Amino acid sequence: MQGFFERLDEKMDALTIHNLVFENATANGIEPKEMFKQVYLTLIGKEKGPRVGKLIFALGTGRVRKDVLG
């Protein structure tokens, strides 16, 4: 998950955020499925959930960055 939350930008839409998961997984040599799982665990404490892009967009990318990164 290295770099994913740092790359979130308030100008991103839900689809761009969703695609960022795939980009980040590929860049770090992990399966996208595992990346999605790790993002869900970080955000909601579960292995699965609603579409990641829509979830982060609804919560607000700025808020998610602040909550995760401190």
Question: What pTM value is reported for the model?
Answer: 0.91
Range of the domain at 18: 4-69
CA–CA separation, 25 vs 9, rounded Å?
Answer: 18
Tally Cβ neighbours within 10 Å of residue 22.
12
- Please write the tens of the pLDDT for every residue from 15-40: 999 999 999 999 999 999 999 999 99
6 pLDDT tier (thresholds 50, 70, 90): very high
What is 42-69 written as a DSSP string? HHHSSS--S-HHHHHHHH-HHHHHHHHH
Domain count, the chain: 1
Which amino acid makes up residue 10? E
CATH number for the domain that contains residue 34? 1.10.10.350
Quick one: pLDDT at residue 2? Answer: 76
Quick one: pLDDT at residue 42? Answer: 96
